[in-house]
Amino acid sequence: MNYLNKKTIEDIDVAGKKVLVRCDFNVPLADGVITDDKRIRESIRTIQYLVDHGAAVILCSHLGRPKDEESKKACTLAPVAKRLGELMGREVQFTTDIIGDEAHAKAAALKSGEILVIENVRFFKEETKNDPEFAKALASLADIYVNDAFGTAHRAHASTAGVADYLPAVCGYLIQKEITIMGGALADPKRPFVAILGGAKVSDKIGVITNLIDKVDTLIIGGAMAYTFSLAKGGAVGDSKVEEDKVDLAKEILDKAAAKGIKFLLPLDTVAADAFDPNANIKLFEAGTIEDGWQGLDIGPKTQELFADAVKNAGTVVWNGPMGVSEWDRFAAGTIAVAKAIAESNAISIIGGGDSAAAIEKLGFADKMTHISTGGGASLEFLEGLELPGIACLNDKD
Ligand code: ADP
Ligand code: MG
């Protein structure tokens, strides 16, 4: 799926217009206090551009999973509006209304350069159902729609896609970055193009593998996924995590990679543990020789070297899924080694996937990567080549 031709906020005239922006303000909260305001900080560039160019800016988002009245209280966007105001150093209005009279009155009174946050769109069940009446009511607050919430771009909801039926629709800077970097790499990668896939399950990544196998020069498999492939090659995997029902599929993938003549790298050695426990005993095995009672939790040193070497001269690296249980220090070495190799290469480096992004940040490599995708599920679906309704709905450049 290629969205390189989508209009952005820079392609339209926003002066004097009311602009409805779908943000990703789905921030973590503890007792009403924002514990990480990264998503708010990241949203500012788009909002600032609109304010600077004379738009009256109406912001909407979802936050958490509000169900009943009690959970709604914990999912209000009021603290987000307050924090945004602090971060931007300007007044940010807030209304507890969404599509009612108060929201309309406040939106109507909003002047150029002013900002209004409306309440959590998921307070209406019509939001996730992409109800056309609800979408129309949201759209009636504004003259232009901007989607900048990449994290929900894989969902066709009223505020992420439905509104675009009623307004001119363009993307903000966050979605634009995903389109140009991730979309650009998938459409026309600088070669050699290396994909590194890891994480917990083959079944989670099948879509990504089948999409990327047609595009890459090298496919690297690490993480727990590697043991299903090892089994497919007749190896002994001990008590490692495997998906027995995916062994045939793993064989098919191995055959396809061979037929295509792409480089397909699997681990040469494995750091195994005698329990799924951060303090378990550790033993190193050659791939395919893991004894019973031991489970592979990270790639071994020879594999680190093999994978690092494959990355060294890459033009583009797409990475999804840690090489081992990187949440635990003793099983993070493989993930660190690969991150370091990417950081030291000149490749365009793109990280997709929630746990992968978290691992890269925690291990301190975030600023060394070209792009860390901001949406977990959305970036996976992008890598799978699936349509993202929140981007597909936006207007194309003339
Ligand atoms: P992402 O969210 O980036 O798509 P995944 O959710 O697929 O990544 O995978 C991340 C999870 O995979 C982590 O919780 C990690 O502990 C787990 N994992 C990686 N390697 C192994 C392994 N060898 N055994 C068990 N779990 C693993
Ligand atoms: Mg995950």
**pLDDT tens digits, one per residue of 233-275:** 999 999 999 999 999 999 999 999 999 999 999 999 999 999 9
Q: Which ligand is nearest to the CA of 228?
A: 1
Q: What is the C-alpha to C-alpha distance for residues 221 and 262, in angstroms, rounded to an integer? A: 13
Instruction: pLDDT band for 335, please (50, 70, 90 cuts).
Output: very high
Instruction: pLDDT band for 1, please (50, 70, 90 cuts).
Output: low
Question: Which residue of the set 39, 155, 177, 241 is catalytic?
Answer: 39
CB 321 less than 6 A from any atom of ligand 1: yes
pLDDT at 87 over 90: yes
Nearest protein CA to atom 8 of ligand 1, as residue: 321
| Residue 127, both tokens | 């939001």
CB 358 less than 6 A from any atom of ligand 1: no
Reply yes or no on whether 377 is catalytic.
yes
CA 191 to chain centre: 23
Q: What is the pTM of this model?
A: 0.92
Query: One-letter amino acid identity for 82?
Result: K
Q: Which secondary-structure segment (H or E) carries 56?
A: strand 56-60
CB 296 less than 6 A from any atom of ligand 1: yes
pLDDT of residue 2: 80
Ligand 1 atom showing the smallest separation from residue 322 Cα:
19
Strands 169-171 and 269-273: unpaired
Q: How far is the CA of 199 from the centre of ligand 2 (A)?
A: 7
Question: Which residue of the set 45, 129, 136, 201 is catalytic?
Answer: 201
Query: Which residues lie below 8 Å from residue 181, measured CB to CB, with a gap of 6+?
Result: 348, 350, 370, 371
CB 241 less than 6 A from any atom of ligand 1: yes
> Residues 382, 384, 390, 393: is their CA dihedral positive or negative?
positive
Reply yes or no on whether 354 is catalytic.
yes
Which has more pLDDT, 304 or 1? Answer: 304
CATH of region 182-384, choose from 3.90.1150.10, 3.40.50.920, 3.40.50.1260, 3.40.50.150: 3.40.50.1260
- Going from the C-alpha of 213 to that of each of 71, 206, 229, 230, the distances in angstroms are 43, 10, 15, 18
Q: How far is the CA of 30 from the centre of ligand 2 (A)?
A: 22
Mean pLDDT of the chain: 96
Reply yes or no on whether 376 is catalytic.
no
pLDDT of residue 398: 86
The DSSP code for 37 is -
Reply yes or no on whether 41 is catalytic.
no
CB 235 less than 6 A from any atom of ligand 1: no
Residue limits of CATH 3.40.50.1260 in the chain: 9-174, 182-384
CB 334 less than 6 A from any atom of ligand 1: no
Q: How far is the CA of 353 from the centre of ligand 2 (A)?
A: 6
Nearest protein CA to atom 9 of ligand 1, as residue: 199
pLDDT at 284 over 70: yes
pLDDT at 304 over 80: yes
Is-contact 271 325, C-beta < 8 A?
no
pLDDT of residue 70: 85
Query: What is the third-level CATH fold of 9-174?
Result: Rossmann fold (3.40.50)
CB 138 less than 6 A from any atom of ligand 1: no
Q: How far is the CA of 322 from the centre of ligand 1 (A)?
A: 6
CB 375 less than 6 A from any atom of ligand 1: no
pLDDT at 41 over 80: yes
Question: Which residue of the set 54, 315, 377, 385 is catalytic?
Answer: 377
Instruction: pLDDT band for 376, please (50, 70, 90 cuts).
Output: confident
By most ligand atoms within 8 Å of CB, the mutation choice from 269, 299, 326, 382 for ligand 1 is: 326
pLDDT at 354 over 90: no
pLDDT, tens digit, 9 for 90 and up, residues 195-217: 999 999 999 999 999 999 999 99
pLDDT of residue 353: 87
CA nearest to 26, candidates 71, 82, 65: 65
